[in-house]
Amino acid sequence: MSTNPAAGQVERSDIEVDVLAQGTLRPTKLVAVGAQVSGRLTSMKAALGQQLKAGDLIAEIDDVNQQNALKAAQASLQTFQAQLAGTQATLTYATAALARAQITEADKATSKDALQAAEALVTTTRFQVVSLEAQIIVAQIAIDNANVNLAYTRILAPINGIVLLVVTQEGQTVNAVQSAPTIVIMGQVDTMIVRAEINEADVTKTKPGQPVYFTILGDLVNRWDSKLISIDPAPDALRSDSTIVATTSSSTASSTASSTSSLAIYYFGNFDVPNPDGKLMTYMTAQVRIVLGSAKGVLTIPSSAVSDPDAKGIRSVEVVDPNDVITNHTVTTGLDDKVRVEILTGLSEGERVVSNRKSTVTTVSTGGRRTPSGGL
């Protein structure tokens, strides 16, 4: 007894072809706010999760050393200014003495040596004035630097953002001699950036401008839509490439190369998304779909119902008529999400097709009529 093969319906539905990727949410700006002077953190004004504006006070460092350095620089400036005033007075006297010596020497009332001594005193005093003026400039620079270092004891927010992490606690001593110690980490979270890892098998299908959407693990119902902004031209594995890491030894390089080659290669695709309510949080995981193509209300059938392209690229479908007669129809296909495929030409809505060309169905040629046998 013959029975119908597994049949699918030609029906209208929406279809979408995606590239799946996993991404990480990051603030548009992520700043490690550090200290530029050493000392004990005497006051911490910022709290975890606090919203700050650029210029808001975050913390204060003990400023005794910086205050003393400023006072010393100011005292040095006053010293040079006093020396300059005295030297200018000497120059005024020496200039007057030179004028008198020139008159008396012309009248033969003064020796030539006395005139030359007066000239030398004026010249020497003028050089002293120039030297003191230069030292005053240096002293003023020292004051400016001391003021800057004093200002550094007040750590201010560099951007508008939220405090994501408090690294240094009140009372701790920070050492800024070799590197700037981090006090807090701030981020701008009103817009989030998603860095999605795209497998090398899929990256050639993607390009900037394609629609993209994602869900988060804590909310699989709602989705956030955006557009792909950019795709990194190289994977992060480039950081460990032995040909560009000069300090890598030959043994380390070979092990790195072998380990890198055994891992899947991913390229980062980047896009941003508004986050006005703050629901998207830093380093959340995003289940990303990059849309390669989509269509709504188009004719579709099960993907398994379409044959592989022949040598000429032609594909076909077995259509089952109301009398269970199977005929072969040439079709033109569009989008294929591996579950259903879009039919552009060759079929009509409501027709039935053999849904699995590789099923256990057997057909017998009967003068243009093929009778299937097998289970549903």
CATH number at residue 333: 2.40.420.20
CATH number, domain of 265, equals 2.40.30.170
The pLDDT profile of the chain, 376 residues, written as one tens digit per residue, is 344 557 789 999 999 999 999 999 999 999 999 999 999 999 999 999 999 999 999 999 999 999 999 999 999 999 999 999 999 999 998 899 888 888 786 766 667 778 888 889 899 999 999 999 999 999 999 999 999 999 999 999 999 999 999 999 999 999 988 788 999 999 999 999 999 999 999 999 999 999 999 999 999 999 999 999 999 999 887 877 777 765 544 444 444 444 445 568 999 999 999 999 999 999 999 999 999 999 999 999 999 999 999 999 999 999 998 888 999 999 999 999 999 999 999 999 999 999 876 543 434 333 333 434 333 3
In a domain, 2, yes or no: no
Is residue 127 located within the same domain as residue 238? no
| Cα separation, 172 vs 168, whole angstroms | 7
- Indicate the burial class of 107 (C-beta count within 10 angstroms; 0-12, 13-18, 19 or more): exposed
> How much is the pLDDT for 375?
36
Let me know whether 271 and 215 are in one domain: yes
Q: Residue 267 domain-assigned?
A: yes
Domain count, the chain: 4
Answer whether residue 1 is part of any domain. no
- Is the same domain home to 345 and 317? yes
50 and 182 together in one domain = yes
Domain assignment present for 125: yes
**Of 255, 290, 325, the domain-final residue:** 290
> Are 269 and 192 within one domain?
yes
Listed residues 290, 307, 342: the one ending a domain: 290
Shared domain for 207 and 164, answered yes or no, is no
Burial of 302 (0-12, 13-18, 19+ CB in 10 A): buried
User: Does some domain include residue 232?
Assistant: yes
- Strand spans (E) along the chain: 7-9, 11-34, 39-44, 51-52, 57-61, 154-156, 161-166, 173-174, 182-199, 211-216, 219-227, 230-231, 266-274, 285-302, 315-320, 326-336, 340-345, 352-354, 362-366, 369-373
CA torsion angle 205 231 234 289 (round to 10): -60
- Tell me which residue range forms the domain holding 176: 31-62+154-187
Residues 130 and 167 grouped into a single domain: no
Please report which residue ranges of the chain form alpha helices under DSSP H: 64-106, 112-152, 200-203, 250-261
Kindly state whether residues 234 and 193 are assigned to the same domain. yes
One domain, residues 158 and 284: no
Provide the angle, in degrees to the nearest 10, between the axes of the packed helices 112-152 and 64-106. 160
Domain match, 201 and 274 both: yes
What is the pTM assigned to this prediction? 0.71
d(CA 51, CA 161): 6
Residues 159 and 58 grouped into a single domain: yes
Query: Taking a C-beta distance cutoff of 8 angstroms, is the pair 36, 18 a contact?
Result: no
Q: Are residues 278 and 313 in the same domain?
A: no
Domain assignment present for 302: yes
N-terminal to C-terminal alpha carbon distance within the chain: 13
**Within a domain: residue 134?**
yes
Last residue in a domain, options 256, 290, 324:
290
Q: Which residue has the tokens 């188009």?
A: 298
CB-based burial, 85-96: b 16+ in 10 Å, e otherwise: eebbebbeebee
Tokens, residue 324:
């269970």
Q: What is the pLDDT of residue 4?
A: 53
